[in-house]
Structure 1
């Protein structure tokens, strides 16, 4: 996977990069479905890209194998003109597109996964930044709602969301770290299947990170969020797991020279191995029986996927469906 990471990083480290150039890079793989669409916001614009790698028994071929969604979450791959070059925040996009590249290469060599894999991210070389403690965040030219609307698909039966998660004092580990599973407003236990895959891929004990109720509520509600890694969970009823690319020290997402290619490769490789087993029905992101019992005992927590009540009045839903 490291070779694919290096090629994708070189492709994206370009002040003129856009979605059409990424699509051109993937044009040699005629069997994939590659979509590009430009979305404008109050702070600029970005190109969303979505890649569907068909599975041998995938829904796109009329089959019933599960579909995995992989989201490369970020504010932007660059913060030009205030920063020159690719920024640490780009890691999510690099990992997601490296996975798409590797799956495409595997496909032409006859190694086709059972189910479809849908990979989505966005390409913005000149995103703004915003104040945040302990270090400034990368901002985005579009809103989190627009990101979720364009990166999450109803076809996704489970979602991995890859995001640089270095600008905090919560995670003090260099490499990758995975979150508990989030589903319909509930923070569930960490998937033991995913822990096993992480240990196999990295050759180390699996690292996990804590999340709070605030982290799984929509951006824009005035609450503190670790970062945007779990924001896809507000837009789907499918289980969502965060794959954080992490460091020992606090590193701003707007820093250049702060992308560690071996860690990005671990995130992409972890996602690949999870995709192999999930689309083959061999692993689960959560215990469905236990989740149903939680619902019977305590009821729905879908309100955490909305903007909640402001002055006693409900202020909207961020769900796709």
Structure 2
């Protein structure tokens, strides 16, 4: 029991003795206090980022690893992000490639690579996650290792690299000897030599703040990579995803993020002025009619947020006939 819980329980007991409740009521009040205190602590711990809770090899234990093979929602999200990462790799069609999956976990992203006809090697620091991958009988080869120590592969081995929700762990110092800038540079420099010239590396990550993004990007550029950040659905708080797209040996054109396309209609920087006056006096408190322009703006806004929107037709925004 924490000190704050003990103090709160002491105050509660003093209040109960002062008022003079019965034994049953006293028991109920004490149990209610303890439950509310533990639930608040549980909520506070669930809101924390995983890398702030424990090191990756401790956080991804057997209980956490089971979620990646049993939780359908988690499997769906991992598969979608893997599909997007492979799309950003821009691999040649109809040609199998040899890819590296950093932070492969239970092999969910590797399953998508196998479905696309590619060969892959997965690397992870968690033995529990790799055990789940072995139980699932994934097709790729698995390697236990810390990506902060570097990539133990020969130069030019891989045709590309993907990583799903793993890179942000390098920004945390779990030991006194850990230096996030040094570990990031060691990882990127050894990865750069492991990739073939002209290949790409795509990292899906959850950055904590802008400073963390700058740190990761700076160390990648220092190691020799070119490229930058691709943000999918930047106008949505839930669907927004960050992808670090890096080029090895060449300078390529950075892909555009999904949902970032601007509308074809040109928006003037000046205030739209019209001589026509709106007759609000005769509306008697009713809201203004929402015309075609308002509907088109709303549909465009929802597309940028990554939501499902029906395609525009000639009937969009058209007023219906009056009913008898």
TM-score (norm 2): 0.25
Bigger proportion of residues as strand = 1
Identify which of structures 1 and 2 has the higher relative contact order when contacts are C-alpha pairs closer than 8 Å and 6+ apart.
1
Q: What TM-score do the two structures reach when normalised by structure 1?
A: 0.25
| Rg larger in structure | 2
Select the structure that is richer in helix.
2
